[in-house]
Amino acid sequence: MVDREVTFDFGRRARIGLAEAVLCDGKSVAQIEHIVALSQRRDHALLLTRLAPAAFAALDQGCRKVLDYDPVSHTAILGSCPAPAGPADVAVVSAGTSDVPVAREALRTLAFHGAAADEVLDVGVAGLWRIMERHEQLTSYRAVIVVAGMDGALFSVVGGLVGGVVIAVPTATGYGAAHGGTTALHAALVSCAPGVVVVNVGNGYGGACAALRVLGTTRADQQR
């Protein structure tokens, strides 16, 4: 009986302002279908992450039909997202083309929670003029999510340019001494710019959740 295997935390959004997301890695098709069906019955919106195209394709048709699936970010959304209000307070900045899937996971997470966000693409440090041209724009956000792999040099460059919260999301881009994102992760942690904060390698969802916490819509005193 699959049912008793899932005690879904439907109360999390009320408690900390962030809906529980379903990390699909390591879950069986039956488990995912069950969670979606359960949420649908209770009329809960749901965000699924790390749902690879092959895993999405393996879901039954009824399940697939109710999900809004994005093959770039490997995310799916059940239910509708709140319309974003006002100008964007968050930017998602990515270093190169290979970092786009992680940046998109962050953008989808922000959209799911109704937060407006801007996307800034292909501003890697090897061509420094690309990020310098965006300097003034970047100083206007309350949070900047920076998505970069390889040596993660972009984290320090952005951290030295802007005063908002800088959230580093390392990616696995690169090979050899990139060590699957570990080098970018460590670089973010020892950034020479003060106060840069870091989430796990490839965790666009976590970077977005951190930005939502910054916006303050998540805290108890804001929800009253």
Site residues for a second copy, window 85-104 (CB under 8 A)?
95-98, 100
Measured from the CB atom, the residue of 63 and 174 that comes closer to a second copy is 174
CB of 150 to a second copy, least distance (A): 5
Amino acid letter for position 183: T
Cα angle at 36 between 102 and 204, to 5 degrees? 15
Contact 159, 195 (CB under 8 A): yes
With CB under 8 A as the rule, give the number of residues binding a second copy: 100
- Write out the binding residues for a second copy, residues 59-88 only, by CB under 8 A: none
Q: Under the criterion CB under 8 A, does residue 204 sit at the interface with a second copy? A: no
At 39 the three-state DSSP class reads: helix
- Write out the binding residues for a second copy, residues 143-202 only, by CB under 8 A: 150-153, 155-157, 159-167, 172-183, 185-202
CB of 41 to a second copy, least distance (A): 18
Task: Quote the DSSP letter at residue 84.
Answer: P
Contacting residue, 42, 62, 68, 128, with a second copy by CB under 8 A: 128
Name the segment binding a second copy (CB under 8 A); options: 26-34, 36-44, 55-63, 74-82.
Answer: 26-34
Q: Under the criterion CB under 8 A, does residue 4 sit at the interface with a second copy? A: yes
Measure CA 117 to chain center.
12
Q: Under the criterion CB under 8 A, does residue 39 sit at the interface with a second copy? A: no
Measured from the CB atom, the residue of 65 and 176 that comes closer to a second copy is 176
Contacting residue, 15, 60, 62, 68, with a second copy by CB under 8 A: 15
Name the segment binding a second copy (CB under 8 A); options: 37-45, 60-68, 76-84, 136-144.
Answer: 136-144
Distance between CA atoms of 180 and 167, rounded to whole angstroms? 19
b/e burial code for range 44-61 (CB count within 10 A of at least 16 → b)? bbbbbbbbeeebbeebee
Contacting residue, 5, 42, 52, 82, with a second copy by CB under 8 A: 5
The alpha-helical segments, DSSP class H, found in 59-181 are: 61-66, 100-112, 129-132, 135-138, 153-161
Cα angle at 199 between 167 and 214, to 5 degrees? 45
Tokens of 30: 């039956």
